[in-house]
Structure 1
Amino acid sequence: MSMRKAGWSAPLLLAACAAQQPEPVVHGVTPGHRCTTDATQAFVGQPGTAETEAAIRKASNAAVLRWAPPGVMLTMDYREDRVTVRLGPDNRVTAINCG
């Protein structure tokens, strides 16, 4: 009977000694990228194209660009490595801000 108990308790003891799970990845910061909008306001009025996206990312030093077309809901989480580009109904840039 004691062997049977030992057989059942072994998996529990081994599970307790198992390696811990790694820490979850926290999103929000890309090393070396902190958004600034000082040089991005010149893009207001430009069409929302891939070329404009690349230029805004470079000018803002952002790792991530998020388009915000009219009527779209955005998450409120702030990311210092992201630039948000708001578009008007004509697909032209109306505002640029970090976060």
Structure 2
Amino acid sequence: PPTLNIKYPLRKGIQWTYRYPRQDMPLQIDKKAVAEEVLERNGKLFECIKVEYIYMNSDVFNGFQMTDWIAEKGLVQRISAIDRVTLTSGEGEPLRTVRIRDILTLK
């Protein structure tokens, strides 16, 4: 079935819910357009809407944060962070928990 990934017209203050109805792992993400920001990439300015993701009712995505900056022409930047990644030894023993941050940006 179709899902609502981005709600148009995209503007600050709107909220919507994205649902991915898989039997083995249903996923619900509440999304909110929280700000208007201008990003500069390669000498070009992009007027963006900043969208924050809130993962609901999911043990798998607990501690996962994602933020998108979306311009009229598409995605300009995405930052994702995971708070609880456990590093293990070669024998599978937990060593420590770390935070991973990934930044995808338009070139």
TM-score category (smaller protein): under 0.3
Q: Please identify which structure carries the higher helix content.
A: 1
Greater fraction strand: 2
* Rg comparison, structure with higher value: 1
**TM superposition score normalised by structure 1:** 0.25
Structure scoring higher RCO (CA < 8 A, sep ≥ 6) equals: 1
Question: Normalized against structure 2, the TM-score is what?
Answer: 0.24
